[in-house]
Each structure stands twice: as C-alpha cells, then as structure tokens.
Amino acid sequence: MTVRTSPSPISHQWQLMRRPVGVPVAEDFRYVSVELSPLADGEVRVTNEFISVDPYMRGRMNDVKSYTPPYVLGETMVGGAIGRVTESRSDALAVGDLVQHFQGWRDVAQGAAAQFRKTNEIAGVASSVFLGALGMTSLTAWVGLFVIADMQPGDTVFVSGAAGAVGSAVGQIARSRGAGRVIGSAGSDEKVAHLIDRYGFDAAFNYKMGDVAGQLATAAPDGIDVYFDNVGGDHLEAAISSFNDGGRAALCGAISSYNSSEPPVGPRNMSMLTTKGLMLKGFTIGNYLEYSPQFAAEVGPLVASGKIVYDETVVDGIDNALEAFGALMRGENLGKMVVRIGG
C-alpha cells in the first residue's frame, strides 16, 4: 500500500531573465511552473481571473533608477491582477472573496492577506474592469488630468495614444469635467474612427500618417491647454508648439522610446516653455494612490451608468501573457489589455 499526499499546487509564472535591448524577445523571459508551499498562518491563496499588462512594464524591464524599481532578474514580474481566494488561513479574507493584488504575471498567487485588497463586486461588471475602467488605468487618467495638469472647464485637451486604456479614459473623464474640446491621436484609421464614434472625441488623427505637429494644429486651430502624454517624442514636441500660454502637460509614459536602445531626440522647441509659461510634469501612478477614493467616487458612477464606456482586449491563458504584452507594445489592443486566466 502506498501513502499519497495530495500534490502541491502549481503556479505558472513569467520571469525576466535578462534586460531587453530594444523590443523584448522571448529569450529575455522564462515561463516556469512553481510548486507552492502550504499556507502559513495569516496567508491566503488566490486563483487569478485576470492579470494586467501595461506599457509601463516595459520601463521596469530596464535597469534604471526610477520611482518604480526595475524588475528583478530571475524573479516573477509583478503587476496588477484580480482573482478569487481559494484557500485562506486569515480571518481577513474568506474563500470566494474577489481580491486585487500586485503579484502580477502568474495564475496562482499566495501570501500574507494584507497583500490582497478585497474588491466590492458590482452586478454585471466583469472583474477585469477593476484593472481598467474602474482601476489603476482610469485612476492614472484622472490623476494626470486633475492633480498633475490642473485641467479646468473649457480647456482644450489633447491626449496621445488615445485609443489605449488610459487614453480613452482621459478623453471621456475630461469631457465629463467640462473640457471645451477633446482631441486624440491613435495609430490606425480604425482607432481614429473609434475615438470619435465611441468615445466622443471632437477630433482625432492617425499619427502614423506623419506630421504630428501639422495634424494637431489642424485639429486644434485655437491651440491646446492640457496635454496628456502617453507617447513622448514628436507628440510632445507638437503639443509644446500647439500650447496656448500657460499650457500644462501630464507626462505618463513614452511608449515611443520604450523599445529604443538609442537615446530619443528631445523636443527642439523647449524654449517655448519659457516664452509661453508652460509646465511639463511627469508622474507614475504609484505615488498618487491616495486619490483612489476621490477618483472612485467621481468615476465609479460614470462607468456603472455607461456614461463612460471602455473596451478591453482579452488574451486567454497565462502561457500567452508574453504574447499579450508584445501585442500591446505593437499597439494591437483596443482599450485595456488583459490576460484571462482559466477562462
């Protein structure tokens, strides 16, 4: 007779093995199966429903000084995720609870209950939405507009990468606060149409058709007051040229340079910062989490009622997470990119 213990649970995870040069390649990562140890007192185990893949993660793959520390080589990449508690040795969380956490690129997560935040479910709202339109993504839009760029009613607002999860939230949240004119750029004609038809932008253009400065000047004949930058590079230079006196930019990311191993060319019109009294301010959302309640109170009802709409691009399977990230880098997503676990 053989005595068998029940098998240890397995967690499938993605780890960064070397710093990518330029566009990340498969060889920069490894996909591992980890045997999980039994829970200690105060710990919970969570089976993820969705994990978030976001542009900022490309930055964390580099070894650069930053508010957000770089990914540690040989360790599993962290990031936003949402799942359900499947086993609990903590009074704080019960089996079945929906929880958010930052353990990222894995299908099963476990650790001290304090690392997991219980999420109040909303009828009819998929759990993925708490990673996007009701989560960090829209919080990023809200903080950039109001805390960083001090958007005021009547302002003309320009957002680059506007068909992405952050960009589409920027346009709609700006509109809901009374922006005078909302302008977006995106990387295809289909996305441009989507910005106007679905997200209600007043004007939009395809930056891959060239001459960003010229297209922006046409879309904003009276100039812009606020710029929400997801792209950097020629978009930032174009925004500086189109700014009215006193313009403000919230710099959220620079996807145009994430995969470049050459230093990008900087804006050639920086002297306009002085002559027009402009402000550029960068931010990473991790330093502004204290605004979450204020954001949720304002934006939650708008999303729940459908006044703010959103799209998701869903990739199935933790084994496809790296492919999802690559598609995100190539701009193949519409709205928030998530990986569905277990489907």
Q: Which residues bind its own copies (CB under 8 A)?
A: 59, 64-68, 232, 236-237, 245, 251-254, 257, 263-284, 287
Burial code of 65-91, b = ≥16 C-beta within 10 A, e = fewer? eeeeeebeeeebbbbbbbbbbebbebe
Report whether 86 contacts 45 (CB < 8 A).
yes
Beta carbon nearer to its own copies, 31 or 288: 288
By C-beta, is 189 or 245 nearer to its own copies?
245
Query: Which residues does 293 contact at the CB level (< 8 Å), separation at least 6?
Result: none
Least spacing, CB of residue 247 vs its own copies, in Å? 10
- Dig out the tokens for 245 from the structure: 């006196």
Cα separation, 139 vs 175, in Å, equals 15
Which segments of 189-265 does DSSP mark as H helices, in order?
Answer: 189-197, 212-219, 234-242, 255-258
At closest approach, how far in Å is the CB of 285 from its own copies? 11
Interatomic CA distance for residues 92 and 118, integer angstroms:
9
**Which CB atom, from 2 or from 274, has the smaller least distance to its own copies?**
274
Q: Give least dist CB 279 to its own copies, A.
A: 4
Q: What is the largest distance, in Å, between two alpha-carbon atoms of the chain?
A: 86
CB of 246 to its own copies, least distance (A): 9
How far, CA to CA in Å, does 56 sit from each of 42, 78, 159, 218, 234?
32, 12, 17, 30, 19
Taking a C-beta distance cutoff of 8 angstroms, is the pair 334, 163 a contact? yes
Reduced to 3 states, what is the DSSP secondary structure of residue 136? helix
Residue 229 CB, shortest distance to its own copies, in Å, is: 8
Least separation in angstroms between residue 280's CB and its own copies is 5
Which of 281, 330 has the CB closer to its own copies? 281
Q: Please state the closest distance from residue 149 (CB atom) to its own copies, in A.
A: 11
Read off the amino acid at residue 168.
S
56: which residues sit within 8 A by CB, 6+ positions away? 68, 253, 284
For residue 166, which of 151, 150, 189, 186 has the smallest C-alpha distance? 186
Q: Which is nearer to its own copies, 272 or 327 (CB)?
A: 272
- Looking at the DSSP assignment, which residues form a beta bridge with residue 16? 29
Query: Between 48 and 160, whose beta carbon lies closer to its own copies?
Result: 160
Tell me whether residue 53 or residue 251 sits nearer to its own copies (CB atom). Answer: 251
3-state SS, residue 311: coil
- Beta-bridge mates of residue 106: 13
Residue 36 vs 279, nearer CB to its own copies: 279
Q: Which is nearer to its own copies, 285 or 334 (CB)?
A: 285
> Are the C-beta atoms of residues 302 and 270 closer than 8 Å to each other?
no
DSSP 3-state of 150: coil
